[in-house]
Each structure stands twice: as structure tokens, then as C-alpha cells.
Amino acid sequence: MPSFRSLLPVVVLAAAFALGFRVMHRPQAAVAPAPVAMAAPDPTPLEAAAAPSPSPSVVRRTVRTETEIAPAGMVPEVGTLAGATADDYERRARFPRSSQPIDDGIDPIVRDREVTPGKSVGPEGTRPTLVVWPEKTSFEAPGPIVVHAYLVNQDRKVDPRALHGEIRTQQGGTLAALDFRDDGSGGDATANDLVYTAVVAPGRERALEFKGAQLVEVRAETKNGEERSATSGFLYSVPLAHLTGRFRDAFADGSLVIEAEVQVDAAARFHLEATLGGPDGTPLSWAQNAQELEPGTAWIPLTYWGLILREHGVDGPYRLLSVALSTTGEMPNQKNDVLSGAYVTGPYRANAFSDRPYNDPGLLDAAARLRAEAPAVGGLEAGTAR
């Protein structure tokens, strides 16, 4: 039986991953006055029945334990893994969880709302393939719902003999039939391009009927009489506040604060997030905030941590690339349509922003514990027994 000493590296490695899960979970924000950076609630994904989430899937890593002794040099030292994890925590601790740098040049709001089409092939993967998708992952009431579909054989679109579908509730009830067209009218962008479009307009009268995560089911009949059936989904939102389109910016305590004005229809908790870019539109930083607001107009501040802008080294004026407001407190959250290219700030020098790190206490504490525990096992060889 392996000794406790031989199992100790695995135990510490598992502890490191457990700590990582706990500190990476973003807690819900407390309400705080502007312009202090603050944490916000966990971003809430659509329910499983809605359109597939466009954000990349989380990679789940499984720690395997072996009874056999691995050859020397093939097993990474636990101390090395714990140290790398601690390094990552300390790096992320430099910024508040409500204001994060963007280093990959990708707008996270746009990425998280990318549409994933539903697809269907014939028996044993035979073509053509039916492709179905909503124009957006979320539609804001009382706006129309737009769904697209086409048949494709390899890289060439083909004309279906028939194409029809429905919008259905989670319980399977039919909300509306989908009337597809390819004549360049009624919401169809281009006539005879073999991409068919159906538009359903709930209006204010039926908005509450469509509210929530809904399913799309589309069926196509091919020219040789085969049937294809594909599904997708979307969120139809009835939010309780709206962006007015007014913004203002200021330099505050070494950081950039941008406030957005909202018109509140009913008291609720609201979540605001926005992506900040440089003059050329390259994403630099993302920020979020949450507040409980009463009916009327109000300003919600977003703080872009000064160290982020200073380290990017990009001077202003800065651009709000994407702004997303949501009404929280119910599942799923009610999302407003994303506002793009909403605002341009005044001129700022990147080196005028503070070089002060945030020093997130939770992340720093986790990193310190990892470093304290790692030396006890860092020198042990895998499979060593007393």
C-alpha cells in the first residue's frame, strides 16, 4: 500500500485546484457609491434550453493517481504546479474583479453573445445539412425575433422543397409559426441567396408570453424528399431599465470612471458591463457594476482600473466598444440589446493613470497558502515510499 508520504504530493495538488476554484468564483457585488470599483454578481448564462452559450467551454482537468512509479523527470513537481498557480493568483490580484485587462484583443461582451447555429444531417451523416440560428442570442422586447435557415451540401447552398418551423416554450407549447422567405423583403436581407429568414413580432401585447428562454425548431424537406430537423434557441427579455445614450467620464483616484445614464421603469437590481477600447478600437479593459435602483433616471459608474490603462500604454481618447445592461433578480436575467460604439471619452495620457495595484485580498491569501504548503512536498519524488 502506498505510504502517506508518497500520496502527499497528490493531496497538495488537489488542494491547489480546489483553492483555484474557490477564488476564481466571482461573488455578487455589493452596492457602492461611484466611482469606487466594486465587485458585481456572477454573470448569469442562459438556461440550458436556450441558445448554446457562445463563450468557450470550461476545460475540466482530472487529476489521475497511479499506483505505479513514473520514470524520473516525467512527473511535474507539486511545488512547481502550486507555484505557477500562486503566480497566476498574484498577477490577477493586481486588479479588482470588477475591472479586468483584455490581453487577447477580443471584446468579451461580443464573444459571450456570439450565436452558435443548430445543425442537422441525414441518416449516417448524409447531406445536405440544415443550419438554423437566431440573429442574436437575446432579443429585447418589444422588438422582433429573427431566425435564419439554409440547406448546404458541402460548401454549396441548395434550395429546399419546403421549410417551416415554430418557436416553442420550454414545455413544448407553440408560441408562433415561422414563415420563411428568401425574396429580399419582410426582414430577409438578400433575395434568392438561399438563406431563408423568418420574423416574428410579439410587440408589447405579447411580450410577456415570449419572455424567457425559448426554443426554435425548424424542419426542411430536401429535393429528394428527405427531412431534416434542427433546433436552436434564444432569450426574449423584458428588462426594467434602458440606457438613455448619455455618458460622462472623469479621472478619479488614478483611474478612469465612465458613468452611464439609465431610465428605470421599476425598482430592481441592475447589472452594467462595458468594454473599453483604444482610439483604433482595440479592446483594452472590461468593467462591471451592479446597483439597486428606484424608478426614474440614475447614473451607474464603471471604473477602469488605472494600472490597466497605464500598462497598456495607449493614450486616449478611449472608446466604449460594447455596453450591456441587464435586469437581475430573476432567472434568466433580462438582457437589453448591446449598445455598440456608444461613447468616446476625452483625451487622457496613459502614464497619468496610477501604477497602484489593487491587491485583491482573497487571491493574495490563496497564493500565500499555496506557497506555504508547497515547500513541504516540493522536493519529494513521485512514488517514493518509506
What pLDDT is stored for residue 60 in this prediction? Answer: 34
Residue-wise pLDDT tens digits, 168-200:
998 999 999 999 999 999 999 999 999 999 999
User: How many structural domains does the chain have?
Assistant: 2
CATH code for position 133: 2.60.40.1930
Residue-wise pLDDT tens digits, 84-103:
999 999 999 999 999 999 99
The three cell numbers locating residue 116? 452558435
Residue-wise pLDDT tens digits, 289-324:
999 999 999 999 999 999 999 999 999 999 999 999
Domain co-membership, 141 together with 178:
yes
**Would you say residue 256 lies in a domain?**
yes
What pLDDT is stored for residue 131 in this prediction? Answer: 98
Partners of residue 185 on adjacent β-strands: none
**Would you say residue 232 lies in a domain?**
yes
Mean pLDDT for the chain overall: 83
What pLDDT is stored for residue 376 in this prediction? Answer: 56
How do beta strands 255-264 and 156-158 pair?
unpaired
**Would you say residue 67 lies in a domain?**
no
Domain co-membership, 266 together with 192:
no
Domain co-membership, 231 together with 278:
no
Last residue of a domain, one of 208, 237, 266: 237
Domain co-membership, 251 together with 201:
no
Residue-wise pLDDT tens digits, 331-347:
999 999 999 999 999 99
The CA angle 44-270-288, to the nearest 5 degrees, is 70
Among residues 181, 172, 179, 177, which one has the least CA distance to residue 215? 172
The HSE-up count of residue 274 (CA atoms within 13 Å, CB side) is 29
**Would you say residue 102 lies in a domain?**
no
Last residue of a domain, one of 237, 256, 283: 237
The three cell numbers locating residue 28? 455578487
- Report the C-alpha gap between 9 and 188 in whole angstroms: 61
Q: Which amino acid, 208?
A: L
**Would you say residue 199 lies in a domain?**
yes
Query: 325 is in which domain, residue-wise?
Result: 239-352
- Report the C-alpha gap between 218 and 133 in whole angstroms: 10
**Would you say residue 73 lies in a domain?**
no
**Would you say residue 158 lies in a domain?**
yes
Domain co-membership, 216 together with 246:
no
How do beta strands 296-304 and 255-264 pair?
antiparallel
DSSP tally for the chain: helices H, then strands E = 7, 19
Beta-carbon contacts of 332 under 8 Å, excluding residues fewer than 6 positions away, are 44, 45, 46, 47, 50, 212, 213, 235
Domain co-membership, 156 together with 232:
yes
Q: How confident is the model at residue 62 (pLDDT cuts 50, 70, 90)?
A: very low
**Would you say residue 303 lies in a domain?**
yes
Domain co-membership, 272 together with 202:
no
The three cell numbers locating residue 117? 447555429
Among residues 157, 159, 164, which one has the least CA distance to residue 216? 164
The three cell numbers locating residue 189? 436581407
Mean pLDDT (whole number) for 50-78: 40
Share of the chain above pLDDT 90, in %: 72
What pLDDT is stored for residue 381 in this prediction? Answer: 42
The three cell numbers locating residue 348? 487622457
Residue-wise pLDDT tens digits, 250-302:
999 999 999 999 999 999 999 999 999 999 999 999 999 999 999 999 999 99
Domain co-membership, 232 together with 326:
no
Domain co-membership, 333 together with 288:
yes
Whether omega for the bond prior to residue 123 falls within 30 degrees of 0, making it cis, is no
- Report the C-alpha gap between 160 and 19 in whole angstroms: 53
CATH code for position 267: 2.60.40.3870
Q: Report whether pLDDT(68) > 70.
A: no
Q: Report whether pLDDT(71) > 80.
A: no
Domain co-membership, 304 together with 335:
yes
For the entire predicted model, the pTM comes to: 0.75
Last residue of a domain, one of 192, 207, 237: 237
Domain co-membership, 245 together with 169:
no
What pLDDT is stored for residue 345 in this prediction? Answer: 98
Domain co-membership, 257 together with 218:
no
